[in-house]
Amino acid sequence: MAELIGNLLVAQSGGPTAVINASVAGVVQLARKYPSIQKIYGGLNGILGILSEQLIDLNQELPDTIQALKFTPGAALGTCRYKIDFKRKPDRAAREMDRLFQVFQAHNIRFFFYAGGNDSQDTADKIHLEALRRGFEMRVIGVPKTIDNDLPHTDHCPGFGSVAKYNACTVMEIAADAGSMATDDGSCCVIEVMGRSAGWIAASTVLAKHGPQDAPHIILLPEIPFQEEPFLDKVKAVVAEVGYCIVVVGEGLKKLDGTEYSADKTRLDAFGHPALSGASERLGELVFGKLRTKTRTVKLGYAQRCAAHYASATDAAEAIACGEAAVRAAADGKSGFMVKIIRTPGEDYCWTTGLQPLGDIANVEHLVPRDWISEDGFMPNEKFIQYARPLIEGEVRVPTEGGLPKFAVLQRHSVAQKLPRRK
């Protein structure tokens, strides 16, 4: 096999994580060492920016800036949720694919890395197959990224460890606060975390629990259909025993009929749309309404997936390694794979990276196994804890200025466009 020589393009897709930029740093820093990789480009806003030929030259960024990407939240290259939709809009999708390959060709892109979740790996797979079909020699490697931890075949996803660490820390702190307020009738605090289908994020807050009376006391997972009565009984029992009850709920909590608990169409806002308020608000209303227990709610929302100031050092190291592994695989002649994390057997936590065909990833959702959850459905068990505990180890030290984090800001040197504007 003749060595492939050309330019590299890396882009980010889907919701950001605290460490998605660490993967880009891994790609850029390692790619600089390969003579066969000439220019190192970033595509702005994922596939969307590539379609409009919006590329930036990452080689012109200062090495310190690339290094600082390792602790910078958000997607430094910009991101999108855009999908090339062959199913519902085949003509448009074909035109878009054409355009993508015009861009690849015009800029001699021979190494393409796409960091993202399920949909993004699907896009990467389609690009890989199209390259084969066209006989355009290009190595396409997917870099896993998702706080939701719902990708199959990888032990876990970069991004998950950091949200798990931040949320578990937050639960510990809220418990210290709520637990210190003396109230006659006890209190309940409902903390809503992300996770629409998979409950990995909610489940990981179990790591805050060091003793049987510690918070969280109840964890509601989207995997376990919600039933009011056993839930209220449990809240009542916890309040009676501990004095307060911390409930963590995954935003995608479902009812027995499979519909989302928070999507209450009977409650409309002032404009006649279904009220936005989420699972925590509804549960808060339920607890206060039925038990008259003083209830407070917390909705961490975006705050949890970008909390770089308390990111997991293990997670950051793995995100960097996934970026590096993508470069090594592509330089090694591989294409059509996603980097995965493999946990090596043994008592101590050890991991390495591997490769999984992209075609195995798309449209498969990895949920929390039922036998990792207690019988009553309210708490992940020891199997889950052993799995999740190592992923939150270590703290990333973020430099500060004026008491606040000093994140990387890319200069974004534009690459001269070579194509007519996209219609």
Residue 341 CB, shortest distance to a copy of itself, in Å, is 17
357 binding a copy of itself? (CB under 8 A): no
| Whole-number Å distance between alpha carbons of 14 and 45 | 9
Output 195 or 336, the one with its CB closest to a copy of itself: 195
Residue 36 CB, shortest distance to a copy of itself, in Å, is 30
Nearest residue to 201 via CA among 18, 405, 13 = 18
396 binding a copy of itself? (CB under 8 A): no
291 binding a copy of itself? (CB under 8 A): no
Nearest residue to 3 via CA among 155, 156, 110, 108 = 110
Pick one of 90, 230, 289, 333: the residue that binds a copy of itself (CB under 8 A): 289
Output 55 or 80, the one with its CB closest to a copy of itself: 80
Whether residue 216 has a cis bond before it, omega within 30° of 0:
yes
* Amino acid residing at 186: G
Window 294-323: residues binding a copy of itself (CB under 8 A): 295-303, 305-310, 312, 314
Stretch that binds a copy of itself, among 119-127, 270-278, 353-361, 374-382 (CB under 8 A): 270-278
Catalytic residue chosen out of the listed positions 57, 64, 91, 148: 148
**And the tokens for 376?**
């009553």
Radius of gyration of the chain (CA): 23
Size of the site for a copy of itself (CB under 8 A): 81
**And the tokens for 259?**
């519909």
Nearest residue to 337 via CA among 317, 362, 315 = 362
148 is catalytic: yes
| Whole-number Å distance between alpha carbons of 122 and 358 | 7
Dihedral sign of CA atoms 134, 135, 137, 142 in order: positive
Window 198-237: residues binding a copy of itself (CB under 8 A): 207-208
Pick one of 35, 212, 403, 420: the residue that binds a copy of itself (CB under 8 A): 403
Window 107-146: residues binding a copy of itself (CB under 8 A): none
**Interaction mask 174-193, a copy of itself, x per CB under 8 A:** xxxxxxxxx------x-x--
| Whole-number Å distance between alpha carbons of 18 and 312 | 9
Residues belonging to the active site: 148
